[in-house]
Structure 1
Amino acid sequence: MEDIPKPIPAKPVRFMDQVRLAIRRRGLAYKTEQTYCHWILRFIRFHGRKHPKDLTIKDVETFLEDLAIGQTVSINTQKTALNALSFLYNKFLQRPLGELDFAHTQRARTLPTVFSHTEATAVIQQLEPLHRLMVSLMYGSGLRVMEAVRLRVQDIDFANNCIIVRESKGMRWRRTLLPTSLVDLLKQQVAFVLVQHKKDLAMGYGAVYLPNALARKCPSAPKEPGWQYLFPAPSFSLDPRSGIRRRHHLHERQIQRAVKKPLIKQ
C-alpha cells in the first residue's frame, strides 16, 4: 500500500512532517509528496544536515549543479529536484528562490528503445493470464503502470467502449480506448472481482481505499462494487492511516517484474 499516505500528527513538530502537511493541504498527489520529501532530505544531507532556513540560494545552486556534474543525473531527475526545492522555499518557507544560476544536465543524444508490435506481442504472450491482461490493456489503451493498477470496476465502460482513467486523487480524469479484443477477458475479470467482493463483505471486510475527498463525499462508496479495484491484491493488508484491513490493488512491482522476466530471457 505504498501509494496511500502515511499518517502524520495534526500539529506536527518535526520539520519533514510539517513539509508533508503543507503538501497535503495543497492537494498534491502522494507520489509527489514522496518525491519532494526525498529530494528535500537529500538536499539537507548534502549540506551537512543544516536546516534549510539557514541555507542560501547559492547552496541550492551548488546542490543542483552537483547533480548534473558530480552525479550526472538525467535532465528529468534534476528538474524534479529543482521542483522539490522550489516548493520548499517558494511555498513552504516563503523565501522565493528567484532566478537560479547552475549547470544543467545535458540531454543525452541517444534514441529510445521502442518495441515493434511483433516484439511487444511476443513478450505479452509469455506472461501469466492476469499479467497478460493487464499489460495488454496498458499496451492497447496507452495506460501507465499506476493508471492500470488503480483502475476501478466502474472505470471500464463497456457500453461506450472506453476506459475512465483517474488521476491519483480520484477527481480529474480522462477517457481512453477500450480494446475490443479484451472486452470478454475484462468482463470475466469484473465478474471475478464482484464474486470476491461479496465474499469479503461476508467476512466483514470489503471497504476499499478511497481518497479523502471522495470518502467524505460518499461515505458508502468504499463498499460499493463499482469502486472495487479491477485488479485487486490476492490478500488483505493494513491501511497505515486507519488501521483497517483492506484489499488494495495489485502492486505495480508485480507487473514490472513480470514483464522483466521475458526481456531478460531475450
Structure 2
Amino acid sequence: MKNKTTITLEPVTHNNTDYVVIHFNNSSEVKDYIKRFYGIKQGKKNNTFYIKYYDTVINELFNYFRDKNWYVDYSAFKTTSTKSSTKKTSNNFLDNYKLPPVTDIQNKTLIKYGKWLQQKRFSENTVHTYVEVTGLFLRYLNLKNINSISERTIEQFNYDFIFKTNKSVSYQNQCISGIKHYLNFKGITIEDFEIRRPKKDKKLPTVLSKPEVKSILEATTNLKHRTLLSLVYSGGLRIGEALNLKVKDIDTERHLIHIKAAKGRKDRYTLLAPSFVPLLESYINHYKPNTFLFEGRSGEAYTQVSARQVLKNAIQKAGIKKYATLHTLRHSFATHLLESGTDLRYIQELLGHNSPKTTMIYTHVSSTSLSEIKNPFDNL
C-alpha cells in the first residue's frame, strides 16, 4: 500500500522573526506543489521549506495541502500560545472559502512586485506584508473567477475578507495599501475610485508609574535581563531597536545611544542615563558581547520572544496587575519625561516620531496635567 503523503508544520524563531517550517516525504510532486505557494523558501535540507509566519498562514497552508488530500500535522501550533490567533471563529473567511493557490504567472508577478517595493526602499516587513495581502487578493480573484480588477472586485474583497471576518483596522489599512501599490505597479487605473481608509481607534497607551517600573527592575535579578529592561525604559526604545544595538552604539562619555536605521529608516540619538552606566558596564564585562549588545547563545541577536518572556516574569514577580508589554516601558519613559517638564519637541526627537501629533498622545495620560484640574466634587 502506498504511503500517504504527510506534511508537518513546525514553528521556528530565528533572528527575532517567526517562521513556519514545512517537512514532508521526499517527493518531486510534493516539492513542486509546495514551491507554488507564494512566500515559500527552500531550506538547506532538501526536504525542508519555510515561510514567514503571519496570522492566517496555518489555515492557508492546511487548506492548500488538504486540496491534495495530504495529511497535515500542525499539532506543534496547537500548543504554542503565540500562534493562537490562527484559531479563529467559525466565521473565518478561510473556514468558509478554500482559496486556490496563485497561478505560476501570478506568482512570478508577485515576486516582481516585491522587488519593485524593495527598490522603493520599503522595509522588509512592509514588503512582505504588502505582497502577502496582495497574494490573498489575487487568490480571492481566482476563487471568484474574476479576470480583471475593478472597483467592484476590490469592494467585494474588502467586504468578504476583511469586514465579515472582523479583521482589525490596521490589517484593513495594510490590505488597502498593498492593493493600491499593486495597482500602481501594474499601471492599472480605476476611474473615479478611491479606496478609503478606516480611522483607527484612538486608544490611550498603558503607562506604568515610576514606583511600578522600579519594582519591575528590582524583581529582575538576572544581570542580562535587568540590563535589557533598564535600557528599554531609560532610552525609550522600541524592543527591535534595543535588540539590534551594537556594543559600539553606546557612548558612555556623552551619555547617548545611537539608534541606527530605526522605523522609517532613520537614525537618531537617545538618552543613556548616567546612573545606568555602572549596570551596563558590569553586564558588558560579565557577558562580553561580541557584536550585538544582547546576544543569544549562538551569538545572534537576542530574540523578541525571549525579551517578552523576561518582562512577563518580572511583572509577575513584582505583583503588577496592569497589562504591560515591552512597548509600555517606552510609553512610560515618554510620559515620565513629560511629567518632569521636558518639552514635547525633545520627547519627539528622543522617540523618533515623525509628527508631533504622535507625541501629543502622552499629554492625555500625564498625571501632571490632570492633577492641575480642580475637581468640582471638592467644592460641594
TM-score range, shorter chain: 0.5 to 0.7
2:246–2:292 contact (8 Å) kept in structure 1: yes
Where does the alignment leave 5 or more consecutive residues of structure 1 unmatched? 198-227, 236-246
Q: Tell me how many residue pairs correspond in the alignment.
A: 220
- 1:186 maps onto 2:280 in alignment: yes
- 1:23 maps onto 2:117 in alignment: yes
- 1:157 maps onto 2:251 in alignment: yes
Question: After the TM superposition, which residues 27-38 of structure 1 pair with which residues of structure 2 at under 5 Å, given as runs?
Answer: 27-38=121-132
1:64–1:102 contact (8 Å) kept in structure 2: no
Q: What's the counterpart of residue 124 of structure 1?
A: 217
Following TM superposition, by how much is the alpha carbon of 1:191 offset from its aligned partner in structure 2, in angstroms? 3.9
2:15–2:301 contact (8 Å) kept in structure 1: no
Q: What's the counterpart of residue 240 of structure 1?
A: none
2:261–2:267 contact (8 Å) kept in structure 1: yes
Letter in 1 for 2:173: K
C-alpha RMSD of the superposition: 3.6
Instruction: Pick one of 49, 62, 85 that aligns with 2:179.
Output: 85
1:232–1:250 contact (8 Å) kept in structure 2: yes
Mapped to 1, the partners of 2:131 and 2:201 lie a distance apart of 27
Mapped to 1, the partners of 2:202 and 2:285 lie a distance apart of 48
Q: Report Cα offsets for 1:73-96 as digits up to 9, x if no partner.
A: 333332222222222221x21224
Q: Report Cα offsets for 1:57-110 as digits up to 9, x if no partner.
A: 3322333345653233333332222222222221x2122467655675465475
Instruction: Pick one of 307, 319, 328 that aligns with 1:255.
Output: 307
Question: After the TM superposition, which residues 34-113 of structure 1 pair with which residues of structure 2 at under 5 Å, given as runs?
Answer: 34-48=128-142, 54-66=148-160, 69-90=163-184, 92-96=185-189, 100=193, 105=198, 107-108=200-201, 111-113=204-206
- 1:177 maps onto 2:229 in alignment: no
Residues 58-67 or 76-85, more deviating: 58-67
Superposition TM-score, scaled by structure 2 size: 0.49
Mapped to 2, the partners of 1:169 and 1:48 lie a distance apart of 35
Q: What's the counterpart of residue 21 of structure 2?
A: none
Mapped to 1, the partners of 2:243 and 2:214 lie a distance apart of 20
Q: What's the counterpart of residue 296 of structure 2?
A: 233
- Shift >6 Å, 4+ stretches: 50-53
Letter in 1 for 2:131: C
Q: Rg: which structure is higher?
A: 2
